[in-house]
Amino acid sequence: MSFNHFDEKGQAIMVDVSAKQPTLRIARAAATVNLKTETLAAILDGGISKGDVLGVARIAGIAAAKKTADLIPLSHPLAIHNVAVEFKADRLTGTIIIEATVKAFERTGVEMEAMTAAAVTALTIYDMCKGADKSITISDISLLYKEGGKSGIYEKK
Protein backbone atom coordinates (compact mmCIF):
# COMPACT_ATOMS: atom_id res chain seq x y z
CA MET A 1 0.00 0.00 0.00
CA SER A 2 1.31 3.43 -0.91
CA PHE A 3 0.61 6.62 1.03
CA ASN A 4 1.06 9.87 -0.85
CA HIS A 5 1.67 12.10 2.19
CA PHE A 6 5.24 10.80 2.56
CA ASP A 7 8.28 11.42 0.40
CA GLU A 8 10.88 8.80 -0.57
CA LYS A 9 12.63 9.36 2.78
CA GLY A 10 9.46 8.73 4.76
CA GLN A 11 9.00 12.37 5.71
CA ALA A 12 5.50 13.84 5.89
CA ILE A 13 4.75 16.18 2.98
CA MET A 14 1.89 18.13 1.50
CA VAL A 15 1.04 16.47 -1.80
CA ASP A 16 1.91 18.65 -4.79
CA VAL A 17 -1.33 19.11 -6.75
CA SER A 18 -0.14 22.04 -8.87
CA ALA A 19 -0.03 19.98 -12.10
CA LYS A 20 -3.59 18.67 -11.69
CA GLN A 21 -6.47 20.26 -13.55
CA PRO A 22 -9.28 21.71 -11.44
CA THR A 23 -12.55 19.78 -11.65
CA LEU A 24 -15.80 19.91 -9.73
CA ARG A 25 -15.24 18.02 -6.49
CA ILE A 26 -18.13 16.86 -4.32
CA ALA A 27 -18.02 14.92 -1.07
CA ARG A 28 -20.71 13.88 1.39
CA ALA A 29 -19.87 12.66 4.89
CA ALA A 30 -21.91 11.62 7.89
CA ALA A 31 -21.72 11.46 11.66
CA THR A 32 -24.17 9.98 14.15
CA VAL A 33 -25.13 11.50 17.48
CA ASN A 34 -26.93 9.30 20.01
CA LEU A 35 -28.81 11.03 22.80
CA LYS A 36 -31.52 10.25 25.32
CA THR A 37 -34.88 10.40 23.56
CA GLU A 38 -35.97 13.21 25.88
CA THR A 39 -32.87 15.21 24.94
CA LEU A 40 -33.63 14.81 21.26
CA ALA A 41 -37.24 15.82 21.89
CA ALA A 42 -36.02 18.95 23.67
CA ILE A 43 -33.74 19.79 20.73
CA LEU A 44 -36.51 19.34 18.18
CA ASP A 45 -39.10 21.17 20.30
CA GLY A 46 -36.84 24.14 21.11
CA GLY A 47 -36.42 23.22 24.77
CA ILE A 48 -32.63 23.41 25.13
CA SER A 49 -31.64 26.44 27.22
CA LYS A 50 -28.65 27.29 25.00
CA GLY A 51 -30.95 27.89 22.01
CA ASP A 52 -31.37 26.48 18.51
CA VAL A 53 -29.08 23.46 18.72
CA LEU A 54 -29.37 22.32 15.11
CA GLY A 55 -29.12 25.86 13.73
CA VAL A 56 -25.94 26.59 15.69
CA ALA A 57 -24.52 23.15 14.85
CA ARG A 58 -25.17 23.74 11.13
CA ILE A 59 -23.28 27.04 11.22
CA ALA A 60 -20.42 25.38 13.15
CA GLY A 61 -20.19 22.63 10.52
CA ILE A 62 -20.10 25.13 7.67
CA ALA A 63 -17.39 27.15 9.42
CA ALA A 64 -15.40 23.97 10.15
CA ALA A 65 -15.39 22.92 6.50
CA LYS A 66 -13.88 26.30 5.64
CA LYS A 67 -11.19 25.88 8.33
CA THR A 68 -10.14 22.32 7.49
CA ALA A 69 -6.69 23.33 6.23
CA ASP A 70 -6.07 24.99 9.61
CA LEU A 71 -7.03 21.81 11.48
CA ILE A 72 -5.65 18.97 9.33
CA PRO A 73 -1.92 19.65 8.85
CA LEU A 74 -1.37 18.29 5.32
CA SER A 75 -4.68 19.26 3.74
CA HIS A 76 -4.79 21.98 1.11
CA PRO A 77 -6.57 25.29 1.62
CA LEU A 78 -9.44 25.22 -0.85
CA ALA A 79 -11.87 27.74 -2.30
CA ILE A 80 -15.06 26.02 -1.21
CA HIS A 81 -18.13 26.87 -3.26
CA ASN A 82 -20.84 25.23 -1.15
CA VAL A 83 -21.30 23.55 2.20
CA ALA A 84 -24.63 22.06 3.24
CA VAL A 85 -25.39 20.37 6.56
CA GLU A 86 -28.58 18.36 6.97
CA PHE A 87 -30.06 16.41 9.86
CA LYS A 88 -32.16 13.25 10.06
CA ALA A 89 -33.55 12.86 13.56
CA ASP A 90 -35.24 9.74 14.91
CA ARG A 91 -37.28 10.53 18.01
CA LEU A 92 -37.78 6.83 18.79
CA THR A 93 -34.07 6.01 19.03
CA GLY A 94 -32.68 9.40 20.06
CA THR A 95 -30.43 9.47 17.02
CA ILE A 96 -29.40 12.37 14.82
CA ILE A 97 -27.64 11.52 11.58
CA ILE A 98 -25.70 14.46 10.20
CA GLU A 99 -24.88 14.67 6.50
CA ALA A 100 -22.45 17.31 5.30
CA THR A 101 -21.91 17.99 1.60
CA VAL A 102 -19.05 20.10 0.26
CA LYS A 103 -18.48 21.29 -3.31
CA ALA A 104 -15.49 23.04 -4.85
CA PHE A 105 -13.93 23.47 -8.28
CA GLU A 106 -10.41 22.46 -7.25
CA ARG A 107 -7.31 20.33 -7.94
CA THR A 108 -7.92 18.03 -4.95
CA GLY A 109 -10.90 16.47 -3.25
CA VAL A 110 -13.11 17.84 -0.50
CA GLU A 111 -13.51 14.65 1.55
CA MET A 112 -11.68 16.08 4.56
CA GLU A 113 -13.80 19.22 4.46
CA ALA A 114 -17.02 17.16 4.45
CA MET A 115 -15.82 14.89 7.27
CA THR A 116 -14.64 17.88 9.32
CA ALA A 117 -18.01 19.55 8.85
CA ALA A 118 -19.86 16.42 10.01
CA ALA A 119 -17.57 15.93 13.02
CA VAL A 120 -17.71 19.54 14.23
CA THR A 121 -21.47 19.63 13.72
CA ALA A 122 -21.74 16.57 15.99
CA LEU A 123 -19.38 18.07 18.57
CA THR A 124 -21.45 21.25 18.63
CA ILE A 125 -24.62 19.27 19.34
CA TYR A 126 -22.73 17.58 22.18
CA ASP A 127 -21.47 20.90 23.54
CA MET A 128 -24.91 22.52 23.51
CA CYS A 129 -26.62 19.54 25.16
CA LYS A 130 -23.99 18.16 27.57
CA GLY A 131 -25.57 19.97 30.51
CA ALA A 132 -28.80 18.04 29.98
CA ASP A 133 -27.37 14.69 28.85
CA LYS A 134 -23.94 13.39 29.83
CA SER A 135 -24.49 10.11 27.93
CA ILE A 136 -24.33 11.59 24.42
CA THR A 137 -22.11 9.66 22.03
CA ILE A 138 -20.74 10.53 18.61
CA SER A 139 -19.94 7.75 16.16
CA ASP A 140 -19.68 6.63 12.57
CA ILE A 141 -17.92 9.65 11.11
CA SER A 142 -17.41 8.47 7.55
CA LEU A 143 -17.22 9.39 3.91
CA LEU A 144 -20.45 8.47 2.12
CA TYR A 145 -19.76 9.75 -1.39
CA LYS A 146 -17.15 11.56 -3.44
CA GLU A 147 -16.74 12.53 -7.06
CA GLY A 148 -14.31 14.50 -9.16
CA GLY A 149 -10.73 13.97 -10.18
CA LYS A 150 -9.07 10.96 -11.72
CA SER A 151 -10.22 8.49 -9.07
CA GLY A 152 -13.83 9.01 -10.13
CA ILE A 153 -16.84 8.26 -7.99
CA TYR A 154 -16.78 6.54 -4.62
CA GLU A 155 -19.96 5.55 -2.81
CA LYS A 156 -20.01 3.82 0.55
CA LYS A 157 -21.89 0.57 0.39
Are 111 and 88 spatial neighbours (Cβ–Cβ below 8 Å)?
Answer: no
Q: Is 70 tagged catalytic? A: no
The pLDDT value given to residue 102:
98
Among residues 16, 70, 90, 127, which one is catalytic?
127
Q: Across the chain, what does the average pLDDT equal?
A: 95
Cα gap 60→4, rounded to integer Å: 30
Residue 5 has pLDDT above 80, yes or no: no
CATH architecture assignment, domain 37-147? 2-Layer Sandwich (3.30)
Does the reported pTM lie above 0.85? yes
The pLDDT value given to residue 15:
87
**Count of positions (residues) in the chain:** 157
Least confident of 11-25, 33-47, 140-154: 11-25
- Phi-psi map region of 112: left, alpha, beta (phi>0 left; psi -120 to 50 alpha): alpha
The pLDDT value given to residue 16:
87
Query: DSSP readout, the chain?
Result: ---TTB-TTS-B-----TTSPPEEEEEEEEEEEE--HHHHHHHHTT--TT--HHHHHHHHHHHHHHTHHHHSTTPPP--EEEEEEEEEEETTTTEEEEEEEEEEEESS--HHHHHHHHHHHHHHHHHHHTTT-TT-EEEEEEEEEEE-STT--EE--
